[in-house]
Chain A
């Protein structure tokens, strides 16, 4: 049973456009939602993360929107650049003294065309 569903599987955006990647989760015990960026042959890099007590978090061109009632969260990349071309993974985790294991979505391959 997939606990974190991510869409789309792939995304092509023109330079300067907005990239939007969506994730939905099932387990209401999740309380930490990070996004990771991964370039080919490299390890995932933590991009931005949010907790359920806020509905939006922005860091530079990257914004997470969080809808607790719908159990959905999304990553928006503003002014997308060719250097943003990578695979993006959303994830969810239970913290608060537990093991904090990350449950990953299946990933979205983003291509930003010049």
Chain B
């Protein structure tokens, strides 16, 4: 069974540009989460989808971040325009329905904003 996949694995962009990160969860997992780890800090929650609906987006830093989950399958996280402080590793995780405690993580996307 395929795990959580993320694309790209690494992205380097200039300040002010737009970047879109993609996450494909494990098939059948209703829950999809986005997290971010900024260098030297702990992994922080960004938002949680249940199927195609945003269950909790309290961790989204500001309105430059937009997350979507079309049809309850894959999800995208767009940063527009990117700022220097957006650099970090963005993780996606998924879990079966009702199992927030059993999250499976993807390998992450390392975003560098210059």
Do the two shown chains form a genuine complex with each other? Answer: no
* A interface residue numbers (CB < 8 A to B): none
